[in-house]
Amino acid sequence: MAKYAGNHLIDCSSKFVYSSDFASYCFYDSHPFNQLRVQLAYELLQESNMLHNKHLIEPRIATEEELQLVHDSKYIEAVKKAGKGQLTEEEGFPFGLGTEDTPMFDNMHEASSLLVGGTLTAVDAVMQGMASHALNLGGGLHHGFQRKASGFCIYNDGAVAIQYIRKHFNAKVLYIDTDAHHGDGVQWTFYDDPNVCTLSIHETGRYLFPGTGNVNERGIKQGYGYSFNIPIDAFTEDESFLHVYETSLREIIEYFRPDVIVSQNGADAHVYDPLTHLCSTMNIYEYIPQLAHELAHQYCDGKWIALGGGGYDIWRVVPRAWAQIWNIMSTGAPLTGSLPLEWLNKWQRKAPVTLPESWQDIHPLYEEIPRKEEITEKNELSLNKALQFIRIKSGFSS
């Protein structure tokens, strides 16, 4: 079988879903979830001459019927009312609306439906054969629940898109979530579904939101054995992160043999991220999409839909990390060297921090982690526990 890994330049047909209206998903100006990230990544790619009109597709708006593939109509009604300023604090509370994490904002239903629509547009492009891969950096809102907003997420575009794939294309979906937070909303939506396999690698929930994502969350009923969780310790570094990622993904995909991959590419495991306690660098944001890309070709005839997600250092981390997904998706390799001056000049003026000048991080970014060996060992144990189930089934040796 053809190998697509490494730096072989190949021109896959890929689509980039973008609209400046993604920025309408805005709780308030200083809220950590800031969709300016998407524009920053988009402009970085344009200035790098990586993104052209032929690549771009406009997101559509998800219909209510599509939202109902995952969400309760009562919840959707509440979001609509909240967006018009007609929902009281008491009415909002049971739906998670009006909290510090997910405050109400004007036209929140429309803004959230656009993000879901963007992901559905990406799905259509791939599943209808217009492209092998598609990227919607406006999506990846994995904490949205059936009838509750949480963790900065209103509607769960990933979950809606997977239900949509199940319904219209009857394909088996592998969902890969490398956001530093547990992909709980998507996991619980498909917890009893053997045709949707979820893999979430995240910082342990001992301290970090949402607290779930334990190794023993494996699914229920027919879905037992199709949810994988690998919680990694605070202060985990690149090497251990990537070992966990590569080992788990290769074994799980061989076991599950999906028809299509949906990846949530949150970029909040970087050492600079203010909300999490992992110590990754840009290295992981080059390898994560590279392996997803390779395996999509090996197992899924190329079918891969990549989404955004978390990422709260919107200046130094997210634009580069997300732009590299596209670079790898469209050419098979990440970019190296300096970032385009035009981009740096434009945005340095607005950034409260000094922007990095190259695609790769200049090491060291942080002081040595004193308990590195123990952390690596603990992650290895979690990895083995998570994979134990399929190793027994498929005769893998650990």
Partner 1 sequence: MLVEQIMKTEVITCQPHETIESALQLLNKHRIRHIPIVNEDNQVIGIVSDRDVRDASPSIFQEKNETNELKNEIQSIMTSPVMTIHPLDFVEEIASIFYEREIACLPVTKANKLVGIVTEKDMLHTLIQLTGVHVQSSQIELNVINKPGILPEVTAVLGRRKVNITSVLIYPNQNDQRYKILVFRLQTMNPTPIIEDLIAEGYEVLWPNMPGTI
- As given in the structure block, the two tokens for residue 387 are 């994979």
Number of residues interacting with partner 1: please give it, by CB under 8 A.
32
**Among the candidate windows 105-113, 121-129, 207-215, 284-292, which touches partner 1 by CB under 8 A?**
207-215
Looking at residue 116, its amino acid is: V
Does 259 bind partner 1 (CB under 8 A)? Our answer is no
Closer to partner 1 by Cβ: residue 124 or 179: 179
Stretch that binds partner 1, among 52-60, 62-70, 143-151, 337-345 (CB under 8 A): 143-151
Which tokens belong to 121? Answer: 């547009």
The correct pick among 152, 241, 245, 256 for binding partner 1 (CB under 8 A) is 152
When asked if residue 13 is in the footprint of partner 1 (CB under 8 A), the reply is no
Residue pointed to by tokens 């385009």: 340
Residue 70 or 127 with smaller CB distance to partner 1 = 70
CA distance 261 to 38: 22
272 binding partner 1? (CB under 8 A): yes
Among 60, 283, 365, 372, binds partner 1 (CB under 8 A): 365
Identity of the residue, 205 or 340, whose beta carbon is nearer to partner 1 in the bound complex: 205
Cis amide leading into 364 (omega within 30): yes
Least distance (Å) between residue 313 CB and partner 1 = 11
Q: DSSP secondary structure string, 134-169? A: EEETT---TT-BTTB-BTTBSS-HHHHHHHHHHHHH
The most distant pair of C-alpha atoms in the chain lies apart, rounded to whole Å, by 58
Based on the shown chain and the rule CB under 8 A, indicate whether residue 224 belongs to the binding site for partner 1.
no
Which helix (H) or strand (E) segment holds residue 77: the answer is helix 73-83
User: Minimum Å distance from CB 160 to partner 1?
Assistant: 20
Examine residue 35 and tell whether it contacts partner 1 (CB under 8 A): no
Structural element, H or E, at residue 261: strand 260-264
Q: Is 208 in the site for partner 1 (CB under 8 A)?
A: yes
**Intra-chain end-to-end CA distance of the chain, in Å:** 25
**Signed CA dihedral, 375, 205, 31, 320: sign only:** positive
Name the site residues for partner 1 (rule: CB under 8 A). Answer: 32, 98-101, 143, 150-152, 181, 184, 205-212, 234-235, 271-272, 274-275, 277, 279, 364-367, 369
